[in-house]
Structure 1
Amino acid sequence: MGNADLRSLATLRDVPFADLEGSVVAVDAHNWLYRYLTTTVKWTSDEKYTTGEGVEVANLIGVVQGLPKFFEHDITPVFVFDGGVTDLKSEEVADRREAREKAEERKQAAEERGDAIEAARLSAQTQRLTDTIQETTRDLLDILDVPWYDAPAEGEAQAAHQNAVGDADYVGSEDYDTLLFGAPRTLRGLTSKGDPELMDLDATLADLDLTREQLIDAAMLCGTDFNAGISGIGPKTALKEIRAHGDLWGVLEARDEHIEHAERVREFFRNPPVRDDYTDEYDLDIDPDVEAARAFVTEEWEVDAGEVERGFERIEESLVQTGLDRWT
């Protein structure tokens, strides 16, 4: 389901960071990291984050610039990384790969004509989370003692589960699909300036007068990352149809339509693959080794020190200013 579609259905409100102090946030790691990665690539010269051997690690700049927001507001992040990609998402993955390839072609054309601004914009669109980016991100989080673990499948589904069972106060993600995966409370805008936006599942269902299963059905009619929607159905029509016919099957029968793998997609949202042993893998008492992190980023991976120094300073300052006894 397109972000605009679910946004028009979700109940959202701004929440001040002051209200989030002391909370634990299960962060959709790929979603968070990708946003910082693309922003870094778009606005930073590539020599600032490229090693002498030509390996790009713009992610390290993104992580150092993004983590202080949690520390400064006494929020403990737990980063949840994607596991294996479900075959239901293969078409979406293929579409994204094709989009990256087209952006790469346009970027090369922009470079040839000397349009540096357009080339930078397109370079951000070609980014993917390489094995090196995945590994170095985890290594840096370890050095900074920031909790993380791997999900069996979708990271946002696992983060939603962690929130639902009470092991996290919120999910941190820009994706609206956390609603469909059953996350009670999602924070959006953690990578943006200003206060974040709270997306509340119970309030959404109450405002729409739907069950979670009916919300999933409405989303599937519009289209999700795991299925194509029905032509001509947007969020308003989807709600109308679900209310008129009760559920997805009633709508499909009434309209003589078909959604491929509908039962599997529906069940995937209702009961995605998750794990319950994740708390064995981390400790919420964070004690960052900032000097070791500096050396890892600037010496081992040759990132320009000027690009990350302010981020490290903010981390150090936050540990003093917030008086985080539980972190030290």
Structure 2
Amino acid sequence: MGNADLRSLAHIEEVSFDDVSGVVAVDAHNWLYRYLTTTVKFTNESVYTTSEGEEVANLVGLVQGLPKFFEHDLVPVFVFDGGVTELKSAEVEQRRERKEEAEAKREAAEERGDAVEAARLEARTQRITDVIHETSRELLGLLDVPVVEAPAEGEAQCAYMNRVGDADYSGSEDYDTMLFGGPLTLRQLTSKGNPELMDLEATLDDHDITYEQLVDIAMLCGTDFNEGVSGVGPKTALDAVKEHGDLFAVLDARDAHIEHADRIRDLFFDPPVTDDYEFDTTLTPDVEAARAYVTDEWEVPADEVERGFDRIDDALTQTGLDDWM
């Protein structure tokens, strides 16, 4: 969910990598975007830009981020977004406008010679291009990391795979996986240190509410699909839903309105997902082919990705390919 207010209500606790294992359905766009912005912010542009001018910061990010899975007892399955849900079009347009504004500010920073500010703003203008889509899938394939194509929202597909038992966790920094009914979400997979575990059932128990009421609370605060009700934060929304029962009763009591409230509610409860996927949890990555793909075909300097590939090699050596999941 775009509104991080839900964190104050969600049951989230730090866990050790030693205490989690199994399959993680990774929200690919969320995961890639975070590595894209970090790579662009802290890496010289020449590192991820080819002689033809193509930017592939995603390849650097993938090689930096994937070892975390291989080094622990986790199998990543990258779930890519499908088409944009109609109800999310306003949010997408707002993100586009913010990127355009950041791009204008970046150009101004460059003109006045402020390299630090220009780099910070460059990170905010990143988007997942066709080249990033293509090269990410190619590299994941060489490393034998499964890919699932969602019909719409990747978070919804991750939550579905978690809910039906095909994945032990969703993997995302957002809160939508819980709103889409995902039982367990691993967060902070793009950060240093231990991950966080977000638990849907524990969240409901903590506040003595139903899953449907949790969605109603989120909608009152605001989601990627709707503006929240003015003046309503998570605590107020929680109290109001518990007092009145559901979203519509709260809206009536406050004489408030949420455009397309019934459709958005139904989207969380029954999103477009697919079960047309299959994958093997025994991964046999071709590290040398992946290394050549990144450094030779896409011209990323070898020393920029050497440590990441070495970590994957070391993880496979220590566990043995036959023993890895």
CA distance in 2, matches of 1:3, 1:232: 14
Residue from 281, 285, 299 that aligns with 1:284:
281
User: How much does 1:326 deviate?
Assistant: 4.2
What is the 5 A alignment of 1:1-328?
A: 2-21=2-21, 23-279=22-278, 282-327=279-324
Q: Secondary structure at the match of 1:278?
A: coil
TM-score after normalising by structure 1: 0.97
> What's the C-alpha RMSD, in Å, of the aligned pairs?
1.1
Residue type at the aligned position of 1:285:
T
CA contact (8 A) 2:4 2:175 kept: no
CA distance in 2, matches of 1:198, 1:58: 28
User: How much does 1:98 deviate?
Assistant: 0.4
User: How much does 1:165 deviate?
Assistant: 0.4
CA distance in 1, matches of 2:157, 2:263: 18
Deviation track 1:45-96 (CA, whole Å, cap 9, x = no partner) reads 1111111110000000000000000000121000100000001000000000
Residue type at the aligned position of 1:14:
E
Q: Secondary structure at the match of 2:229?
A: coil
User: How much does 1:125 deviate?
Assistant: 0.0
- State how many pairs are aligned: 325
Q: Secondary structure at the match of 1:100?
A: helix
CA contact (8 A) 1:107 1:123 kept: yes
Deviation track 1:215-253 (CA, whole Å, cap 9, x = no partner) reads 000110111000011101000110111011100110111
State the percentage of identical aligned residues.
70
Residue type at the aligned position of 1:113:
R
Residue type at the aligned position of 2:245:
G
User: How much does 1:257 deviate?
Assistant: 1.2
CA distance in 2, matches of 1:10, 1:29: 22
User: How much does 1:179 deviate?
Assistant: 1.0
CA distance in 2, matches of 1:230, 1:68: 42
CA distance in 1, matches of 2:140, 2:280: 13
Segments of 4+ in structure 1 off by > 6 A? none
CA contact (8 A) 1:286 1:326 kept: no
CA distance in 2, matches of 1:318, 1:288: 11
Deviation track 1:171-199 (CA, whole Å, cap 9, x = no partner) reads 11000111110010000000001100000
Deviation track 1:105-132 (CA, whole Å, cap 9, x = no partner) reads 1111111111111111000000000010
Q: Secondary structure at the match of 1:303?
A: coil
User: How much does 1:255 deviate?
Assistant: 1.2
CA contact (8 A) 2:71 2:312 kept: yes
Q: Secondary structure at the match of 1:210?
A: coil
CA distance in 1, matches of 2:31, 2:319: 23
CA contact (8 A) 2:283 2:321 kept: no
Q: Secondary structure at the match of 2:128?
A: coil
CA distance in 1, matches of 2:4, 2:51: 42
CA distance in 2, matches of 1:5, 1:114: 37
Residue type at the aligned position of 1:228:
E
Deviation track 1:270-324 (CA, whole Å, cap 9, x = no partner) reads 1100111212xx3222111111111110111111111111100001000011334
Residue type at the aligned position of 1:73:
H
Residue type at the aligned position of 2:213:
Q
TM-score after normalising by structure 2: 0.98
Q: Secondary structure at the match of 2:79?
A: strand
